[in-house]
Structure 1
Amino acid sequence: MSEIKQLDVSIMGREFRVACPVDEEDALLEAVRMLDAKMHEIRESGKVIGIEKIAIMAALNFAHEYLHVEAGGFDIAAYRRRIAHMNATLDAALQDQAALF
């Protein structure tokens, strides 16, 4: 079981405390950066006013992008799992070879 860490993050100048597994901290911080950037972009367009509406528009943008990628048959999580499996296989093969040198 993964250790859970409390992180303080800032989105649109507002502070939030969120919990995440320690090994997923970098991914969470990247998600915070992406969300904050998208919300700033929406606010700066001047078409949407109000933090809640900006958050909803950002969520809709991300959901649309996700569905577009998913519909295209590109599943990033599946590729990451395959790459992790290949890395593990290579590490195991190289470990056996270390005795030869």
Structure 2
Amino acid sequence: MSTPVTTTVNILDKDYRISCPEPEQAALIEAARHLDHTMREIRNGGKVIGIERIAVLAALNITHEMLRSGMQTSTQNKQAQEQINSLLDRLDGALKDNHELDL
């Protein structure tokens, strides 16, 4: 296992020191940037007051994005699998026809 490293991330002008495995450090920094950006968009919209409410709305927005992306990926995987199955059926049919001609 890799040794944990402490990384400082800044979210809404506040620093947070977070420990994570070294290979995950870049992903942690990117996640913090995404969260900071989302929270700033909500805050700058002016309709939500309070850091806690902004954080909850940001978490909901990010979770919604993640779930929607997962559903799209699932649909794409299903479509790809259907295309693969169709191609396999066509290939099986062609091989069967070719085998019958050889007999």
- Relative to the length of structure 1, the TM-score reads 0.69
| Alignment gaps of 5+ in structure 1 | 75-101
Structure with greater Cα Rg? 2
Partner of 2:29: 29
Give secondary structure in 2 for the equivalent of 1:47.
coil
Q: Percent identity?
A: 47
| Alignment gaps of 5+ in structure 2 | 75-103
Q: Is 1:51 the equivalent of 2:58? A: no
Q: CA RMSD in A?
A: 1.0
CA distance in 2, matches of 1:40, 1:73: 28
Instruction: Tell me by how many angstroms 1:31 deviates.
Output: 0.6
After TM superposition, the runs of 4+ consecutive aligned structure 1 residues lying more than 3 A away are none
Q: Is 1:12 the equivalent of 2:12? A: yes
CA distance in 1, matches of 2:9, 2:64: 25
How many pairs were matched up?
74
Q: Which has the higher helix share?
A: 2
